[in-house]
Amino acid sequence: MEYQILDTTTVVAYVLNNAETASHFRDPLSVKAREIGDGNLNLVFILQSETFPQEALIVKQAVPYLRVVGESWPLSRERMRFEAQALMLYEQLAPGLAPKVFAYEEAMSIVVMEYLIEHQVMRQPLVARQKFPLFAEHLSTFLANVLFKTSDLYLTGLAKKDLQSRFINPHLCKIQEDFVFSNPYMESPENKHNPLITDEVSAVRQNVELKLAIANLKEKFMTQGQALIHSDLHTGSIMVNPADTRIIDPEFSFFGPMGYDIGAVMSNLMMNYMSHFAHTADAEQREAHQGYLLDTMRSLWNLFAFKFDALWVRANTGELVPELYWQFEGGEQAFARYRERYIRQILRDTFGLGACESLRRMMGLVTVWDVGSIENAEARASVERRIIRVSTRWILEHESFMSVEDALRIVTEEV
Ligand code: ADP
Ligand code: MG
């Protein structure tokens, strides 16, 4: 089908004309579509049967521009191919942790997927102090499996490069390169910040050691094709309920450093932690929620590291360090040391790269709702200053971290 932008009428015809997607509905005439507005980049429709409301699908379509800005900002529709490929690969590598894909059409830049009817985007409930006790367990399984099984630790060099060649995603990488790693820390017309933190923002932009470290982190992001990363894994890309966790919206995915994904989650949990100094006046309630967030960050890292290592021991089949390489007196211990060193570097990358995500949210193009929704400018500034302090220290100190406790201690020191 030739590309055309769908609306709430044509999207229904599109889905019912395809036998595979039409088969989701027992009463096709009762299917109605509505567009859900919070998509920044794309059109997202919910198609739902009025007769059988449990029968529903999501249709996501890329438009040839950045939706939040408009047609003046062209953006390749190819992003929907990366999203479809990534979602389908997630289902193979970490089953049940992303929405199922029912159809994908490249010419139309459309993905038809499972409607997560019982889930919420994680960001809002975290502001409302809801807890998701299985989240760290689920997300660590997702991250360990997807990152390990798309890396040189598991795949042969040929298989990995073949997969990587299908994820060369220059246009969406450019968005992160600009808006996470450069523009927020220099004069740039789209930057915004709370006028009350102008001093802190200028201090960041003039901090020599910080700028050197951010440049190194940007180079890592741009050049280390370590594994297939989601590359936009903030708490708005995770849908949850107390029993289940799903990763959505992998249109930015490409082969980059593993720590960027784990770090995006860590820094978004840290921003949520700090936002409660404004959202939650009652100290007891606030401390309980902040304690839950620290426990979640700790478990996420520790479970990830444990699962990643276990996968590696079980299947060291990749190009990087073959079994035979360790076949010598002391080789087993050497392999254990190598794994420990490798995983420690992921930890350091997690907090270095993750801190760029939280720092940019304080002074770049887009904030996060956790902080942006604090109406009182003074209260918001005091949250933003804390986030700037933690992010700055994570960036300056991450290369010396030995365990997740080193990162968490900084959070509790900068309250
Ligand atoms: P964009 O890439 O345009 O930002 P998202 O993939 O983030 O779009 O989707 C926008 C919103 O649509 C999400 O925040 C979520 O509320 C909703 N959404 C997206 N995918 C699903 C899904 N599979 N099931 C339920 N809701 C979804
Ligand atoms: Mg998106």
CATH code for the domain in which residue 181 is found = 3.90.1200.10
Same domain, 79 and 166: no
C-beta of 40 in contact with ligand 1 (< 6 A):
yes
* 48 and 195 share one domain: no
Q: What is the pLDDT of residue 211?
A: 98
25 within domain boundaries: yes
Residue in this structure with the two tokens 């997969």, named with its chain if needed: 163
Of 114, 131, 151, the position where a domain reaches its end is 114
Does 38 contact ligand 1 (Cβ within 6 A)?
yes
pTM value is 0.98
Do 63 and 32 share a structural domain? yes
Residue 307: phi and psi, rounded to 5, are: -70, -40
Write down the pLDDT at residue 71.
85
pLDDT at 386: 98
Pairing of strands 70-74, 65-66: antiparallel
243 shares a domain with 206: yes
176: closest CA among 357, 5, 349?
357
The last residue of a domain, from among 114, 149, 183 = 114
Measured from the CB, is residue 387 less than 6 Å from ligand 1?
no
Are 153 and 288 members of one domain?
A: yes
**In angstroms, rounded to a whole number, what is the distance separating the alpha carbons of residues 371 and 180?**
17
- Residue nearest ligand 1's atom 8 by CA: 39
Burial class (CB in 10 A: 0-12, 13-18, 19+), 313: exposed
pLDDT at site 39: 63
Q: Are 279 and 374 in contact (CB under 8 A)?
A: yes
Q: Are residues 195 and 72 in the same domain?
A: no
Q: Which mutation among 63, 172, 239, 268 tests ligand 1's pocket best, with the greatest number of atoms within 8 A of CB?
A: 239
What's 46's domain CATH number?
A: 3.30.200.20
Alpha carbon distance 89, 98 (integer Å): 10
Residue-range definition of the domain harbouring residue 277: 120-413
Find the 386 Cα to ligand 1 centroid distance in Å: 30
The distance from CA 215 to its chain's CA centroid, rounded to whole angstroms, is 21
Specify the DSSP class assigned to residue 100.
Answer: P
In a domain, 5, yes or no: no
Q: Which ligand is nearest to the CA of 121?
A: 1
262 Cα–ligand 1 center, Å: 20
**Would you say residue 2 lies in a domain?**
no
Give the ligand with the smallest distance to the CA of 47: 1
Burial group, residue 65, by CB count within 10 angstroms (0-12, 13-18, 19+): middle
> Are 133 and 110 in the same domain?
no
- CA of 40 from ligand 2 middle (Å) equals 6
108 with 207, same domain: the answer is: no
Question: Which residues does the chain have with pLDDT short of 70?
Answer: 38-39
The answer to whether residues 238 and 259 belong to one domain is yes
Angle (CA) 5-6-10 rounded to 5° is: 140
Residues around ligand 2, an ion, CB closer than 5 A: 41, 249
Judgement on whether residues 108 and 190 belong to the same structural domain of the protein: no
Q: Which two tokens stand for residue 56?
A: 């529903």
- Which ligand has the shortest distance to the CA of 40? 1
Q: How many structural domains is the chain composed of?
A: 2
- The domain boundary, picked from 90, 114, 138, lies at 114
Instruction: Indicate if ligand 1 lies below 6 Å from the C-beta of 115.
Output: yes
How big is the chain, counted in residues?
415
Residue 225 to residue 215: CA distance in whole angstroms: 17
Classified as helix, coil or strand, 246 is strand
- How far is ligand 2, taken at its centre, from the CA of residue 60, in Å? 10
Under DSSP, the state recorded for 63 is: -
- Residue 411 has what pLDDT? 98
Residues 173 and 268 in one domain: yes
The verdict on residue 1 lying in a domain is no
Task: Classify residue 264: in a domain, yes or no.
Answer: yes
Please tell me the distance from the alpha carbon of residue 292 to that of residue 300, in angstroms, as a whole number.
12
Residue 167 resides in a domain: yes
Ligand 1 centre distance from Cα of residue 21 (Å)? 19
Q: Is 39 in the pocket of ligand 1 (CB under 6 A)?
A: yes
From the alpha carbon of 115, which atom of ligand 1 is closest? Answer: 24
Residue 249 CA: which ligand 1 atom is closest? 6
In a domain, 155, yes or no: yes
Ligand 2 mean position, distance from CA 26 (Å):
31
Q: What is the pLDDT of residue 41?
A: 87
414 touches ligand 1 (CB under 6 Å) = no
Contact criterion met (CB below 8 Å) for 230 and 253: yes
Mutational test site, ligand 1, from 5, 248, 251, max ligand atoms within 8 Å of CB: 248
Residue 38 has a pLDDT of 67
| Backbone torsions φ then ψ of 22, nearest 5 degrees | -60, -30
Together in a domain, 196 and 285: yes
* Domain contains 223: yes
- In terms of Cβ atoms closer than 10 Å to its own Cβ (0-12, 13-18, 19+), residue 4 is exposed
- Using a 10 angstrom Cβ sphere, with 0-12 exposed, 13-18 middle and 19 or more buried, the burial of residue 243 is exposed
